[in-house]
Amino acid sequence: MEITMKKLSILFALLAVGGVSMIIFSRPVSAQTGTFQTYEYVTIRWSGRDNTHLIRANGSVEFLKPLLMKVTRPDRSDDRSYYMNVAMNAVAKEGYEFAGMTSDEIVMKRLVASQSSK
């Protein structure tokens, strides 16, 4: 079986057209095309056991004194660290996770929506 020059040029032309069409008609797809997530945040503000409060995403403020009065701090443990830990665990039960902190505040977040923009 002999391949003639005409058949060989037709084969190369078909391969070239196929390659160019693959490049033109294929598009890269990432793992998360057109999605975004919406979070809501709460801030736990340390102001001593009696005045520590939670600031919710809607602007409401909840004082945590009733929660903090229910627990007994162990001797030789730090007030701030112990009670902020109690507050964080209470907020984590609502689905929040740690997002950041300063010396007197802990910010926590939870996912409220995951939408696709397709």
Q: What is the pLDDT of residues 17-56, one digit of tens each?
A: 777 777 777 766 655 556 677 999 999 999 999 999 999 9
Strand ordering across the sheet containing 105-116? 61-63, 53-55, 35-45, 105-116, 97-101
Q: What is the pLDDT of residues 48-92, one digit of tens each?
A: 999 999 999 999 999 999 999 999 999 999 999 999 999 999 999
Helix (H, G, I), strand (E, B) or coil at 108: strand
Q: Where are the domains of the chain?
A: 35-116
Compute the distance between CA of residue 29 and CA of residue 32 in angstroms, rounded to an integer: 8
